[in-house]
Amino acid sequence: MQLNAIQIILVVLVSFLAGMEGILDEFHFHQPVIACTLIGLVTGNLLPCLILGGSLQMIALGWANIGAAVAPDAALAAVASAIILVLGGKGQAGVGSAIAIAVPLAVAGLLLTILCRTLATGIVHIMDKAAEEGSFRKIDFWQYVAICMQGLRIAIPAAMILAIGAGPVKGLLDAMPTWLTDGLSIGGGMVVAVGYAMVINMMASREVWPFFAIGFVLATVTDLTLIGLGAIGISMALIYLKLSKSGGNGGSSNGGGNSNTGDPVGDIIDNY
């Protein structure tokens, strides 16, 4: 697929915002489901990019910066894979391959992340000197420089992929043998499943499982049968039993409450 000048500018702008939001974390443009959706919106490939973003989001939920360990770059993975998906022109059929490509891109993005953070350390020292001088203008200037550097961390690779053009990208994807594309699709699906399993493993608790069961039923069952309604009913009962231990007499240790109306859930809501 060939992109016009306006679409290219908008894609680079989305990439720049995704890079900045990786640090600011205010509007979440760096989240794959948002970055891919915006790229799909400006390029006219909303549905394939939305599916790609949702799949990558399940993987990225299991990524987190812990101490000195830096997580793979979800923003670069989302932006680059979405651009490759759009330029490839395969639509939903290319989502599996794009997911498989996104993971090594995320790992490669660690190098850019480390480089930018290393440079940001020097910028902090410059801002310290500006603070000693009492120059708020210099502090603001170098703050903007550091944030823009993070935006360029994603925008420059995105512009490079766009500069290659649709022809080479599509030719590369078409040149892949069937066994490789099928393997990438299967591998991409497995990566999503592993990412989802990591998220479940982190949030797994007796308090959360009923909500997971309800969400699973509502998301996967198109026609609610007695089995689906039964799963929802059991989950609601478990939630109520858990809340009943915190309300009424059981809530006296939670600050408030002397109230015991016989409705434990109501007591919790009133105390809240």
**pLDDT at residue 12, as a whole number:** 93
Residues 101 and 227 placed together within one structural domain of the fold: no
Angstrom distance (rounded) from CA 27 to CA 53:
16
Residue 166 lies in a domain: yes
Q: Verify that 46 and 147 share a domain, yes or no.
A: yes
Contact indicator for 91, 131 with CB cutoff of 8 Å: no
Residue 123 and residue 238 in one domain? no
Q: Is residue 38 packed enough to be buried (19+ CB in 10 Å), middle (13-18) or exposed (0-12)?
A: buried
Could you report the per-residue pLDDT of 225-256, keeping only the tens digit for each?
Answer: 777 777 777 877 777 777 766 655 544 444 44
21 and 115 fall within a common domain:
yes
Does residue 199 sit within a domain?
Answer: no
Q: How far apart are CA 29 and CA 115, in angstroms?
A: 21
Identify whether residues 168 and 79 lie together within a single domain.
yes
Range of the domain at 77: 5-177
**162 and 213, same domain (yes or no):** no
- The interaxial angle of helices 226-244 and 264-271, nearest 10 deg, is 60
Structural tokens at position 208: 């959360």
Same domain, 171 and 215: no
- Tell me, yes or no, whether 172 lies in a domain: yes
Does one domain contain both 125 and 214?
A: no
The gap from C-alpha 13 to its chain's centroid, in whole angstroms, comes to 18
Find residue 69's DSSP bridge partners. 66
| Residue 187 located in a structural domain | no
Percent residues over pLDDT 90 in the chain: 22
Task: Report the SS3 class of residue 135.
Answer: coil
217 and 171 in a single domain? The answer is: no
Query: Quick check: 110 pLDDT over 90?
Result: no
Residue 190 lies in a domain: no
CB count in 10 Å sphere of residue 133: 10
- Tell me: the pLDDT tens digits for 45-95? 899 999 999 888 877 776 666 555 566 788 888 898 899 888 888 788 888
pLDDT of res. 155:
92
Q: Look up residue 168 and give its DSSP letter.
A: H
Report, as an integer, the average pLDDT of 23-39.
88
Give the sign of the dihedral formed by CA 192, CA 194, CA 200, CA 203.
Answer: negative
pTM: predicted TM-score of the whole model, two decimal places: 0.63
**Residue 84 belongs to a domain:** yes
Are 217 and 231 in contact by the 8 Å Cβ rule? The answer is yes
State the pLDDT confidence band at 42, using cuts at 50, 70 and 90. Answer: very high
Structural domains counted in the chain: 2
pLDDT of residue 239: 75
Are 22 and 106 within one domain? yes
Q: Which pLDDT score is estimated for 26?
A: 81
Element holding 8 (H helix, E strand): helix 5-24
In a domain? residue 194: no
Domain boundary among 177, 199, 230: 177
pLDDT tens per residue across span 161-191: 888 876 676 666 567 677 766 665 666 556 5
Q: At what angle do helices 95-133 and 74-88 cross, to 10 degrees?
A: 140
Q: Which of these three, 157, 177, 197, is where a domain ends?
A: 177
